[in-house]
Structure 1
């Protein structure tokens, strides 16, 4: 895919815990950012490590035998909204608007929280603003699929593309939160990232990494088709996604399927369609719960939560898809040690 597109010319805003631009793989990849938390410690500072991991998955350059991101030509705009204390609605609101004003085509939010009606109402205007400015917003749906399955925001807001996670078998990841807020899915298990202690790399789990891969996929597609709008990029991502096994979409576990940018870049698949129509708005079944809907759902059975993904019509195998979407490069190079110690869910 990199012979067709590396994501060059695309700015991806990472709304997270900050990004450490001194990490070898990210040198030269990180733009000056802003800190919207109360701490005001500076956007480049990332004491949690979460935002840096997300940036690596999107635009890491493998320097020193490290992580290659899927869209290695994209640039990262770090906007800090997460602090050890909390994720605030006000910080998220301001950061989404700032990302849109900065010209970020893609906004990655690998975070969220259960919100009351006031919180939802506070974020929706910012989401609408960013959509009108031409940004495409991806947000993780959460990691409570095997427990409370709690709906989180902003992933469940209209105008945000909620991202769930799948495992190596292309089944929904056990912890991936499911429901009508899931629009697309991406790999969310055994994803490389920096270890919190001791150096080296650890295996990450969660919809945070899946969201980064979805954002990077959009960057690749948009770089190859710079005249497309946010709606058109999203439409071809939906059209080319690997469908659930039963063929019914949107699925509450997999949305419209697993992102498959190679289908767009290499096979020239997908029709961009109208520039000003959001493809998710045209599908009522994919809309998130109304404000009156409880934020907690009864967990589904493990069997239903492990809904499989079938091969698409072009008979691309699961293995080919897994490599084709970039996990062949989302890995630590042979020259570096890879520690398989489990890290916290991302």
Structure 2
């Protein structure tokens, strides 16, 4: 069962299009809810393998704003994970309902809770969702409503903002809102849109440099044919046959689009911000890029950016930039689909990764001790006379 007749969300048109009048009821026809539960683990989760990172973090303490069509807070798998939101497009009420269903689908990819009988679960189930409605459906969003929604999300305390929408017109109000978010250490993650075969127009806000721009790949790791390309593309994530939550029901739906690749990256950002709370938004963006499963091309690649987001490496990698020393990055390739945990041996895996985390923490402490010691010693050998030491400068 597919939720939308169109691929993903590109709800913004020219900024000249009017927003809905104050107090107007949504003109969008509500989509039918699904009660069908999909039992298997989706391919997206086999590729990203969320259980591998969950012993370290599930995104606890991170507020992720979903700037979209609202989020249905009554959906069972979102119970307790949705804060009261704001309706920017209608300017009345909250955004904790969702006639169209797109925002609920996006929120499920980020923070859906585990449920018996299904393998569908959010990548960061410990994160909290903040709904901000900037459109009722695919026809009434504008660059202005999106800009106002970004500001609302920032002021409400979100540290990650997911924007699964695109405008093909640069807009000063939208650019200023992006800078407002960046200036307050909020990471904005946005879709590059689905018009690769319709002229590949530049998508905003994804094209702004402070934004983490996301495209889509399929199960084979190749760029989805609809996913836009360009020098501003930062990362890709699964965006084909994505399984997530239906509005107004307990069931699941399947759809494709860069709209649905984007929340996988927003969720990965939430995991990083939870585990590394001292990193800035810019550092989180860079960490996600450096730890992605890189394609075998010059980086960033115009079709795949820095590659497929890798949540586990994004959380665990020791990066040279963050420690002011040269440290090898984990080997990364745009490889075959990884198999996720099947649930067996869960406790053993939790112990395994907890021990791994402890080892990593110990190594980090050792690095923190040795670097200043080495700087004081000029990196000379233990028995080397000071006059004979190699006077090398540090590399960036």
Structure-2-length-normalised TM-score: 0.67
Between the aligned partners of 2:321 and 2:83, the Cα distance in structure 1 is 30
Matches of 2:57 and 2:248, distance apart in 1: 35
- CA 1:45/1:198 → structure 2, altered by over 3 Å: closer, same or farther? closer
SS of the residue corresponding to residue 186 of structure 1 reads: strand
Q: Does structure 1 conserve the Cα–Cα contact (< 8 Å) formed by 2:215 and 2:236? A: yes
**Pair 1:219-2:270 in alignment:** yes
Once the two structures are superposed, what CA deviation does each residue of 1:14-69 show, in whole Å capped at 9, x if it has no partner? 00000000000001000011000036353112111000001000000033545310
| Other-structure match for 1:45 | 97
> How many angstroms does 1:235 deviate by?
1.3
Q: CA deviation at 1:170?
A: 0.9
- Structure 1 residue 169, shift from structure 2 partner: 1.1
Considering only aligned residues, what root-mean-square deviation do their CA atoms show, in Å?
A: 2.4
Among 98, 107, 123, the residue aligned to 2:152: 98
Residue 259 of structure 1 is matched in structure 2 by 309
Secondary structure at the counterpart of residue 130 of structure 1: helix
CA displacement at 1:230 relative to structure 2: 0.6
Contact 1:236 1:272 in 2 (8 A): no
Question: Measured at CA, do residues 63 and 40 of structure 1 come closer, stay the same or move farther in structure 2, by a change above 3 Å?
Answer: farther
Query: How far 1:163 moved relative to its partner?
Result: 0.5
What's 2:260 paired with? Answer: 209
Q: Is the 8 A contact 2:295 2:333 kept in 1?
A: no
Which is higher, the Rg of structure 1 or of structure 2? 2
Matched, 1:80 2:98: no
Match of 2:322 in 1: 273
Q: What are the superposed Cα offsets for residues 212-241 of structure 1, whole Å, 9 maximum, x if unpaired? A: 000000111111111111111111111111
CA distance in 2 between counterparts of 1:162 and 1:264 reads 17
Give distance in 1, aligned partners of 2:63 and 2:251: 28
Residues 65 and 29 of structure 1, relative CA distance in 2, 3 Å threshold: farther
For the residues of structure 2 that align with 1:201 and 1:239, how far apart are their CA atoms? 33
Gaps of 5+ in 2: 1-52, 325-329, 342-396
Aligned residue among 92, 96, 109 for 2:163: 109
Q: Return the alpha-carbon distance in structure 1 between the equivalents of residues 158 and 305 of structure 2.
A: 25
Alignment equivalent of 2:176, drawn from 125, 145, 148: 125
Equivalent of 1:190 in 241, 258, 270: 241
Question: Which residue of 1 is the match for residue 29 of structure 2?
Answer: none
Query: Could you tell me which of 325, 329, 336 is aligned with 1:318?
Result: 336
1: CA distance, partners of 2:76 / 2:129 = 14
With over 3 angstroms needed to count, the CA separation of the structure-2 counterparts of 1:323 and 1:114, relative to structure 1, is farther
Q: Deviations over 1:136-190 (max 9, x none)?
A: 0000001112332222211112211110011111111111111122111111112
**1:274–1:13 CA distance, 2 compared to 1 (3 A):** farther
With normalisation by structure 1, the TM-score equals: 0.76
The equivalent of 2:296 in structure 1 is: 245
Moved over 6 A (4+): 196-199
Answer yes or no: is 1:33 the counterpart of 2:82: no
**In the aligned structure 2, how far is the partner of 1:257 from the partner of 1:54?**
21
Q: Which runs of 5+ in 1 are unaligned?
A: 276-311, 325-346
